[in-house]
Structure 1
Amino acid sequence: MVVPELRAWRAARPHVVRVARTVKPHVVRITRAVRPRAVRLTTSQLTAVSATVGLALAAGAVTVAGPWDSTGQRTAERDWAASRTPEGGTHHAGTSGTHRTSPRPAPSADSVLTGLGGPAGTVPVPAGKALADVLDPLLANPVLGSVRTAVVVDVATGERLYGKGAEQVQTPASTTKIATAVAALAARGPDHRIQTRTVLEPDTEEVVLVGGGDPTLTARKPADGWADLDTLADRTATALKARHMDHVTLSYDTSLYSGPGLHPMGVNDNIAKVTPLMADEGRLDRSTSGPAGRAADPAADAAGKFADLLHDHGITAAAPGPSKATGRSRALASVSSPPLSVLVERMLTNSDNDIAEALARQVALAAGEEPSFDGDAKAILAELKKLGLPLDGARFADGSGLNRADRLSADLLTALLAKAGDPAHPELRPVLTGLPVAGFTGTLSARYTDAPTATGVVRAKTGTLTGVNTLAGTVVDKDGRLLAFAFLTSDAANPPDADLARAALDHTATALVACGCR
């Protein structure tokens, strides 16, 4: 059955949605303001990829419900840049706009990339010259700065339809997170969970809180489905009481990572020191999931909070200090993060720098590289090389894109998006489902307000640093073809007005929506 909201939207956009019955129906959730309803849409093979728009709905009628983070966390670049404009650049516009719900695993490829429009062969592919006629004038807009590169790719075939400086590498800003997401999902898998645990040293009766690298570990109540310190404290207290222990020495172990933990940009309201143990990303104000002052030592901060929670559960712990669990330690308790697919979606939707750096460390750990900024870079490049992606000139200096030393090409970014839509790589699908949705979620929630044709149809990762403005994602054109695009623009000498540059990039993506281009 097709609910009224979807029927109305389909009537207004017949080129995008075709609903049919199939032997394998799948469910896509859409909601009104309060109550979710289920809709069954078709699944077909290659055009399954063109249905990233399957969650795109009429603005003002419904909101998108997805498994990406719903804590309302705002993008990391935005407020960080507002406080440090000379180094960090201008900010993303708008708040995250996501709804507060418990995290859920990423939906399957079939349920998110629902086939809309029949076999891929029946949907025309845009012609390169026609695309150039539309895009060249838009990318020539001087508000974008002096350097502009762009690529448009047909996701179903991987064919490049348009290129402008396609292989030229430049600073990608936060679109780097697309590469980090692909590498993490390929290295660890979408179902991987990050564990935070406590152990008991038998010789000293010392309890050690061992960080596993989960930046979403929370001290908030309620935890809303994320791994939380209170649950870990409760389980640890139960295990200690079973041993007739109610007074312990508490320490914490951050030995999982190596190398400097401080990002070159330093600690600020939107990125903490990179450490395997932190609660609420080291925020000093735990009442907010948005930008906030960060603890100078997030691990000590988390351990102190854990000691307080142990006390609440009947265990007295001495003030915690750093230590390292030995091979003789005995397990007491543990909590696990949501699946990596959920972390990836939260990171992409809200441009979360702390999660991005944690995911980069996960790639290094999986590859046996040193879990540090340098080791992360080696591991990410190696993982992407395994996928056969175009890496000429690419360089990674971090996982978040805050480091200006990062270098990616528009060719690589579109190849990453196309790979995420490849039926042979369903493990990468959270890269597409986590992209912010124009007018609805994350860093695009307050953009495209004057572009109704693009609302809900453009899904893209934003990137902004001073003098750098980027956008990479997917659109479905008016013929129903899913296109991946990447627009990278910059001007170091004369940084453009960020608001004007973002509007110009949004206008360019909107033009793809309206373009049959044959």
Structure 2
Amino acid sequence: MTKQLASALGDDALGERVGAAVIDTATGEQLFASGADTPITPASTTKVITTTAALASLGPDARLSTRVVQGSKPGAIVLVGGGDPLLAGPRAKQSGYPKQASLNTLAARTAATLKAQGVRKVTLFYDSTLFTGTPKAPGWKPNYIPDGEVAPVHALMIDEGRQNPGMRAPRVQNPPQYAADAFRGLLARHGISVAKSVRPAKAPAGAAELGRVDSAPLYALVEHTLTRSDNDLAEALMRHVAIKEGQEASFAGGAKAVLAVLQRLGIAQNVSLSDGSGLSIRNRISPNALAKAIALAGSPQHPELRAVTTGMPIAGFSGTLGNGRRFVDSRSKDQVGLVRAKTGTLNHVNTLAGLATTKDGRLVTYAFMADQVPVNAEPVLDRLAAIVARS
């Protein structure tokens, strides 16, 4: 394996800065290393680190809750964002995995509670203060939001801020207001008259709850984040780690919190973050850090991290490895269905980190990273993963 990997790493398509690490999951033995501790721009393989920290900090069964509570004045209610970007709006078609919490269900539950109290007319406010700081990360390119790569990060949004739930773009400019306006319409459908003006307001501390909906459990959200490379959910998870770890729920606070969790796991070395999704060109992660994180997730000692491995796309079948462009080269296609990996792609950046079972039955994890790619190094990365899997 060593000779084959070394040869493939010399491919010109990878450019001038390349790092690689291969680790035996059971023993922790380093099977191969080349620039393994070099911090490299990770692109979307950042999500491996974010989701590992989320599972370790919050636990795999945690859920994200969107609530409606009593306002500070009679007849006032507050829609409180709980940082669930998958919350389904009125135009969403509920299908697939994981099952999304529904704004319509929240409206129905809230209306039922209000009617039971004899209330048929309300003023609606919304609270999106769970997350703080700028909604755009340092290192994000100006076109990311207009092109639909990600929405501005807020604690209250529906359909990941998409104007049309079935299309990547456009994203709405003010996701909390958009969600609250949609909720107003749904309450009206359920027989509650709502004042026309819907404005932001902080929910009173300890206010009585009128309705709530919960997301799928965190392990399912992590699987979705990795399989689909979901930028919005990754950013939300980073902020939830921040809240759990006592940091402010911002990009900076999220980065501090994730690193604190990684420190506890013993894999914080050579990790520097500006966001949770990997869109930021300022992120730096070493191949060793990625391979070690996946090794932890695959080890019997950390069952709480298992969703990191089960969420990895399968070569030729699912997610970002099932798009018809990966593992199609003659030097990698024999490993279709046998390799699981998270991809990472930005301009001049190609990364791949995942796991495979070797011919002698060893579970190994790997990370191959390049951030000075001339054009496209994906076929070479696929070949590197295939070499590991067939060795």
Compute the TM-score of the two structures, normalised by the length of structure 1. 0.71
Paired residue for 1:231, among 105, 130, 134?
Answer: 105
Do the aligned partners of 2:72 and 2:204 also contact (CA within 8 Å) in 1? no
CA distance in 2 between counterparts of 1:327 and 1:407 reads 39
Do the aligned partners of 1:202 and 1:330 also contact (CA within 8 Å) in 2? no
Output aligned runs, 1:417-456, within 5 Å: 417-445=294-322, 446=324, 447-450=326-329, 451-456=332-337
Q: Which residue of 1 aligns with 2:50?
A: 180
CA distance in 2 between counterparts of 1:311 and 1:420 reads 46
CA distance in 1 between counterparts of 2:359 and 2:72 reads 67
Residue 393, structure 1, aligned to residue 270, structure 2: yes
Q: RMSD over aligned Cα, in angstroms?
A: 1.3
Task: Quote the sequence identity (%).
Answer: 46
Do the aligned partners of 2:24 and 2:365 also contact (CA within 8 Å) in 1? yes
Residue 413, structure 1, aligned to residue 290, structure 2: yes
Q: Which residue of 2 aligns with 1:18?
A: none
1:453 Cα shift? 2.2
Output aligned runs, 1:61-460, within 5 Å: 131-201=1-71, 203-219=73-89, 220-224=91-95, 225-264=99-138, 265=140, 266=142, 267-268=145-146, 269-286=148-165, 288=166, 290-318=167-195, 319-327=197-205, 329-389=207-267, 391-445=268-322, 446=324, 447-450=326-329, 451-460=332-341
CA distance in 2 between counterparts of 1:379 and 1:343 reads 19
Give deviations 1:171-200, integer Å, cap 9, x for gaps.
Answer: 111101000010000000000001000011
CA distance in 2 between counterparts of 1:243 and 1:218 reads 27
Do the aligned partners of 2:270 and 2:289 also contact (CA within 8 Å) in 1? no
Output aligned runs, 1:43-54, within 5 Å: none
Compute the TM-score of the two structures, normalised by the length of structure 2. 0.94
CA distance in 1 between counterparts of 2:252 and 2:297 reads 25
CA distance in 2 between counterparts of 1:392 and 1:214 reads 30
Do the aligned partners of 1:185 and 1:427 also contact (CA within 8 Å) in 2? yes
CA distance in 2 between counterparts of 1:347 and 1:196 reads 19
1:304 Cα shift? 0.7
Q: Which residue of 2 aligns with 1:512?
A: 388
SS state of the match for residue 424, structure 1?
Answer: coil
CA distance in 2 between counterparts of 1:251 and 1:400 reads 30
Do the aligned partners of 2:137 and 2:274 also contact (CA within 8 Å) in 1? no
Give deviations 1:456-500, integer Å, cap 9, x for gaps.
Answer: 111000001111110000111222221101001121xxx4212xx
Give the residue type in structure 2 aligned to 1:191. D
Do the aligned partners of 2:75 and 2:121 also contact (CA within 8 Å) in 1? no
Give deviations 1:132-188, integer Å, cap 9, x for gaps.
Answer: 211011010001111111000011111111000111111111101000010000000
CA distance in 2 between counterparts of 1:505 and 1:160 reads 19
1:204 Cα shift? 3.3
Give deviations 1:400-422, integer Å, cap 9, x for gaps.
Answer: 01111111101100100111012
Do the aligned partners of 1:357 and 1:400 also contact (CA within 8 Å) in 2? yes
Give the residue type in structure 2 aligned to 1:444. L
Do the aligned partners of 2:65 and 2:212 also contact (CA within 8 Å) in 1? yes
Do the aligned partners of 1:218 and 1:228 also contact (CA within 8 Å) in 2? yes
CA distance in 2 between counterparts of 1:238 and 1:132 reads 65
Aligned pairs, how many?
377
CA distance in 2 between counterparts of 1:420 and 1:466 reads 29
1:203 Cα shift? 2.7
CA distance in 2 between counterparts of 1:258 and 1:505 reads 37
CA distance in 1 between counterparts of 2:344 and 2:252 reads 22
CA distance in 2 between counterparts of 1:488 and 1:222 reads 37
SS state of the match for residue 299, structure 1?
Answer: helix
Of 464-473 and 451-460, the range deviating more from structure 2: 451-460
